[in-house]
Amino acid sequence: MKSSMIRWMMFAGCAAFLAATPEGSAAASTTAQPSKTSPAASAHVLRVCADPGYLPYSNRAGEGFENKIAELVARAMGRKLEYTWASYRAHGGFSNFLALNLDAHKCDVIMNLPTGDNEELATKPYYRSSYVFVTRKDKHLHIRSMRSVSMHSVRIGFEAETTPETAVKILGLIRNAVVFHVAGNPAASPRELLQAVQDGKVGVMVTWEPAIGAFMKDYPDLQLRRVPSEEYGPGLPAVHYSYAMSMGVRKGDTALRAELDKVIATHKAEIAATLAKFNVGLLPNPRHYNYSNG
């Protein structure tokens, strides 16, 4: 999966988590300085690498859904939550973020790794979501798939280097397209994608639902519809728009992964409730998991 795609799904997801109020809970540690604890001495600390300014995923104030999931996980494990802050969107992208932080032992967990990604060791998924079409209600576009007739008569917005871009090119829609670069710009917010639809800069935005769900309450004139899987030509594989997201640990750290898997399995309802507060659209997780190798 391309690094821009991974950055966009952070959180990516639920790329990596958990719920509590800011006061009197693990949230109090969200402003903690990067941990100096060595990996061998961190049995009572959950050290998480997170982006300091990428809502709705995470920020220093602990306001993102990945912050809330991390709080929930730390509390369930009986550990103190500590952060190492680093941008997913800095030079080198998400792969560089992993190399400089998780692989460098500055932390032990990330909250946003696509399930099955082979860069690190993924837990079982804790949520699965999808891309959506965002349109204005008053335009009555009735867009239900990338093949909808209306897609040929409106300007189409999408994030660079993501699944929708591939479909737009295959279907010959690129002349109608407007490319956005939110996932590669630390100063940008996913809110800009909704604003582009609101202002009429694009007629439809095809975007990752967890990135914009929390902001939809501020845009009552907009509506969402999930993008279905489709085949775009003879002999071409089906293009899927839903992805499962896991937490990630370093390759070889199977003990920590097992602990996280236990929390995911025993706190499903709390995790789902936390994600729902951020309007993260959820799909059923697959019954079988393709673990990345460790």
Task: Give residue-wise pLDDT tens across range 12-60.
Answer: 333 332 222 233 333 333 333 343 434 444 689 999 999 999 999 999 9
* Mean pLDDT, the chain, integer: 86
User: CA-to-CA distance for 276 and 56, rounded, in angstroms?
Assistant: 12
What is the distance between the alpha carbons of residues 138 and 64, in angstroms, rounded to a whole number?
A: 31
The DSSP code sequence of 256-293 is: HHHHHHHHHHH-HHHHHHHHHHTT----PPPSS--PPP
Do 264 and 132 touch, CB atoms closer than 8 A? no
| The pLDDT value given to residue 19 | 25
pLDDT of residue 93: 86
Task: Name the β-bridge partners of 253.
Answer: none
Bond prior to 286 in cis (omega within 30° of 0): no
| Whether the Cβ atoms of residue 99 and residue 54 lie closer than 8 Å to each other | no
d(CA 213, CA 194): 10
Name the pTM for this structure.
0.85
Low-confidence ranges of the chain (pLDDT < 50): 1-3, 5, 7, 10-41
Per-residue pLDDT, 23 = 30
pLDDT recorded at residue 286 = 66
Q: Which amino acid is at 173?
A: L
